[in-house]
Structure 1
């Protein structure tokens, strides 16, 4: 579970924005745009995805830490928690 409905809406909006940005990056590549411009926009897409991931983590940290994916309670180890955070790094 990601979080309450407001959080889900915010995450969905961030992901849709990132999807639009990524489509723009692809169009820039197809149009032969300057490398610097493409990389700048690609970095913006990456930041948007990171923000969506951090929003999910921040809103549902307790659930993420205590649920095993099947809805059952199973505390994560320190290593699992570290891996979860590093996936966004």
Structure 2
């Protein structure tokens, strides 16, 4: 159990670090727009931010499956299992859009 808490903290720290980096990238894009930089260069940075956000979402989704979903499936009634699987499917479909 302690190992899971340590991994969760590590994942949280990694996600926060990535989000701060993304925040800096977005500020950089704002500056590029403000300064009238070349559109293709701005679009390249937008694509980089989109990719970084997708990576963060993937990390969070993986952590959710390996912790919340796994725990529910191991320790719950069939109705609760069905509910968490439905919730997971909903989250995955939203994430993939």
Bin for the TM-score computed over the shorter chain: 0.7 to 0.9
What RMSD in Å do the two structures reach over aligned CA positions? 2.2
Whether the 8 Å contact between 1:57 and 1:64 is mirrored in structure 2 is no
Q: Which residue of 1 aligns with 2:28?
A: 24
Q: CA deviation at 1:81?
A: 2.3
| Residue 60 of structure 2 corresponds to residue 60 of structure 1 | no
| Residue 13 of structure 2 corresponds to residue 9 of structure 1 | yes
Whether the 8 Å contact between 1:18 and 1:48 is mirrored in structure 2 is yes
Greater relative contact order structure (CA < 8 Å, 6+ sep): 1
* Matched residues, number: 82
| Residue 94 of structure 2 corresponds to residue 82 of structure 1 | no
More helix by share: 2
Q: Show structure 2 runs of 5+ residues with no match.
A: 1-6
SS at match of 1:88: helix
Q: Which residue of 1 aligns with 2:52?
A: 48
Q: Distance in 2 between matches of 1:84 and 1:46?
A: 18
